[in-house]
Chains A and B, each alone.
Chain A
């Protein structure tokens, strides 16, 4: 096996090495994404101890499952964040069932924080692009996406939580996700800035009209 410095390897190359039992490669992935995984878990659980537990589980899971990862089916970061999110949400739901959850942040972070200065350039650009795209969504759509992704709520639970009709939640989730996908696609959106928000608002209105008509 070539002895290139692991820090210079791509995620996929590192994962291949992890699959062959290379602990240094796993640690290199941890150095690259440990903070993201830990912060995501903390955002969901609002508990540093549990975030630590999730982060540990995620990377030991990567160690065990590296050989089964298929880059044709998913990007590595999508796979990693989905493991982290799913594990954290499982814990959150168990704690919720036991009445143990406390207060939770309800706003998506669209501000650039000082901690971002420590991000890799790629991660920094990704974070900027996602935040910029989110700012183009109507707040009501951002809210339901946040409650689903970070709060682990189903659409029905979101409707109960917000006291709005289930159909409205479904529309917001669908339009919010489709707009976000469009804005973050490699080909870019047809418009940007305020025009993007207007388009999304118009789409939501059209959808309401269509639903009423059905």
Chain B
């Protein structure tokens, strides 16, 4: 380790701590760090300084369901009966086989539903569920996904979802982005919420049978909803998807399933 090399690396360390070096400079710093305890100590202080910048960001509350979803995700090997829809998704899923929509009909359906969704953007939220305001679909984000779907349909999959009960005409479609773990749920004909029912909740079920809550939402007065959400798992690990009506605040207690569909 030469003195000259040490001095050069010492000058590069602040930028290295910020992850702002080119690959070549980064390699040079890392080679020197292996043999220089003094630079290692300096880097530790610089990294602590750099990451203090995180404290300057304006603060936003994460969506309320994220806390519970993280808890469920880490509960490996533990059945999540406490929050699963009654009896899990299995048992409420119909096994009827839907004809797979052609890309053209699917696109027409999606665009029609999005048009309806755009007009009904201002979803009615109950006062006690004010925290759900962030769940409103971002039109720009939705449009971006739709454009990508049109441009690169091979990166997406379409899955129909249907009512779990013939007494209401609910149906919809799931557009799954295989690369970025995103999904769009388009639904119509959702049954009205009863007095003690708080919201609709999207659930997924993985191959081990764990049901994981994804997102609570409301529909408009005609029972229509457009929802964009990020999956906690890779789409190929998800077996089924469903929508239940849930109680509670936050609405985590499922009381009746309304939509379901198989993703495989």
Contacts and interface: CB of A to CB of B under 8 A. Distances in A.
A, B assembled together: yes
Interface of A: 23, 26-27, 30-31, 34-36, 38-40, 42-43, 47-53, 55-56, 59-60, 63, 73-75, 77-78, 81-82, 84-86, 89, 100, 102, 108-110, 113, 115-116, 118-119, 123, 126-127, 130-131, 134, 145-146, 148-150, 152-156, 158, 170, 173-174, 176-178, 180-181, 184-185
Greatest chain A CB density within 10 A among B63, B229, B230 is at: B230
Contacts of B67: 27, 30-31, 34
A68 to B, nearest CB: 16
Nearest to B57: A43
A75 B19 contact: no
23 contacts: A23-B74, A27-B71, A34-B62, A35-B61, A48-B138, A49-B229, A53-B181, A56-B66, A60-B70, A60-B73, A73-B44, A81-B51, A102-B140, A109-B57, A148-B15, A153-B20, A154-B20, A173-B18, A174-B11, A177-B18, A178-B14, A180-B52, A181-B45
Contacts of B14: 173-174, 176-178
A56 B70 contact: yes
Contact of A100 (B21, B47, B144, B232): B144
A108 B20 contact: no
Closest 7 CB pairs of A and B: A177-B14, A115-B59, A38-B62, A148-B20, A43-B57, A148-B18, A81-B54
Contacts of B86: none
Nearest to A152: B19
Interface of B: 11, 14-15, 17-22, 44-63, 66-67, 69-71, 73-75, 134, 138, 140-141, 144, 181-182, 228-230, 232
